[in-house]
Amino acid sequence: MTNQEFDFTDHSHRRYNPLTDSWILVSPHRAKRPWLGQKETVAKNTIPEYDEKCFLCPGNARVTGGANPKYESTYIFQNDFAAVKTEQPTLPAHMDFKDPLKNKLFKVESVRGNCFVICFSPKHNVTIPQMKHDELVNVVGAWQQLYNNLSKEARDDGKPFKYVQIFENKGTAMGCSNLHPHGQAWCLESIPSEVSQELKSFQKYKTENHCDLLGDYVKLELQERTRIVVENDSFVCVVPYWAVWPFETMIVSKKKIASVAQFNDKEKDDLASILKTLTVKYDNLFECSFPYSMGLHQAPLNATGEELENSWFHMHFYPPLLRSATVRKFLVGFELLGEPQRDLTAEQAADRLRALDGEVHYTEKL
């Protein structure tokens, strides 16, 4: 025992994530350790506006044949290498392996669906923080249109679509195979595990407290303000109290919105604005094209009344960089075998992001 007062900026502790019903170890004192491990290579800013070899640039041939139209705004097409197929045989609801032990331990289900590529811009050499506001409004509008179209196909045409996961992997550090600014949408006939766990947590919280988990969380963050990075009329961006990645953030709607389908023009405009500000801050942090994986979490397609009641629109940003443009965090060792761990506290990360310029990109200052 010690008489020393507990210091959250120096003493190790665990934080609970109510969305995933899991814990994270926070070790702020470890931020002082020297780094002799792997360093990433910073990409040189020599990317052309148009690349004749890029399969996503307007007018270019696609890898499986055919060609892209000479699109001038956000463009969506079916992924040539989809992870799931719309047409394939189905398995029985309860697969019988003809073995009692296998039936206890092995579960399997067929999954149908479709995948799409969302080209944010016809320009090959820009990313979200370098796009104009109106261009980002078009991206948000494309997300909304895709969500609505898939809902209609499932409802009217019997397509096997239940949930659409819209996401972006930015940068080679996140496994991006083509640097043309684009995201993806994977649409499945089942709800993915991460989203399913969140919906269960939302339902449990509502049953126990008669209110919404993210509604209460937004209220608390707006009161404390120590983890807010940026906000506007419709959305707030925070470094979550339970963040795993060093500069992880979450964009949450201030009022209850179940999905992009419910966005009005003001909310589309505000989401585009906060996306621009956050990603400019990200790039300005280490003066590099800041890598991340980000995605939308929202209500399932053609959601039931209960699913709509439990859903609250939000976005997760998971960036790997830790100390500089070349030093990244790895989830290995204890974090794979025990539980996730971070060095920087959420409040320290929010302080750094909040202090950064969110309007002028560092490349415009050179």
Known binder of ligand: residue 310? no
Q: Which two tokens stand for residue 186?
A: 């994977």
37 known member of a binding site: no
Cβ burial of 284 (10 Å; 0-12, 13-18, 19+) is buried
Tell me if 176 is assigned to a ligand binding site. Answer: yes
Instruction: Give, in degrees to the nearest 5, the angle at Cα 23 between 205 and 245.
Output: 110
Residue 17 marked in a binding site? no
Q: How many CB atoms lie within 10 A of CB 281?
A: 25
Handedness of CA 57, 63, 69, 74 (dihedral sign): negative
Q: How buried is 167 (Cβ within 10 angstroms: 0-12 exposed, 13-18 middle, 19+ buried)? A: middle
Of the residues 11, 29, 94, 182, only one is catalytic, namely 182
- In the chain, the amino acid numbered 34 is P
- Is 290 annotated as ligand-binding? no
User: Cα(first)–Cα(last) distance of the chain, in Å?
Assistant: 53
> Binding residue per annotation — 263?
no
Q: Does 203 belong to an annotated binding site?
A: no
125 has binding-site annotation: no
Question: Quick check: is 361 catalytic?
Answer: no
Q: Could you give the CA distance from residue 127 to residue 283 in angstroms, rounded to a whole number?
A: 10
> Is 67 annotated as belonging to a binding site?
no
To the question of whether residue 330 is assigned a binding role by annotation, the answer is yes
**Spatial separation of the C-alpha atoms in residues 183 and 139, rounded to whole Å:** 10
Q: Is 180 annotated as a binding residue?
A: yes
Q: Is 79 labeled as ligand-binding?
A: yes
* Pair 51, 155: CB distance under 8 Å: no
Answer yes or no: is 155 a known binding residue: no
Residue 262 marked ligand-binding? no
In terms of phi and psi (left: phi > 0; alpha: psi -120 to 50; beta: otherwise), the region of 104 is alpha
- List all residues 6 or more positions away from 112 whose beta carbon is below 8 Å from its beta carbon: 84, 85, 86, 87, 88, 90, 160, 188, 189
| Residue 11 counted as an annotated binding residue | no
Angle at 262 between CA 210 and CA 247, to 5 degrees: 75
Alpha helices per DSSP H over 210-304: 213-224, 265-286
The answer to whether the annotation marks 153 as part of a ligand binding site is no
Binding residue ranges: 30-33, 54, 57, 63, 79-80, 124, 169, 175-177, 180, 184, 198, 297, 314, 316, 329-330, 334-335, 341
Binding residue ranges for Zn(2+): 54, 57, 124, 180
Binding residue ranges for UDP-alpha-D-glucose: 30-33, 63, 79-80, 169, 175-177, 184, 329-330, 334-335, 341
Binding residue ranges for Fe cation: 198, 297, 314, 316
The residues carrying an active-site annotation are: 182
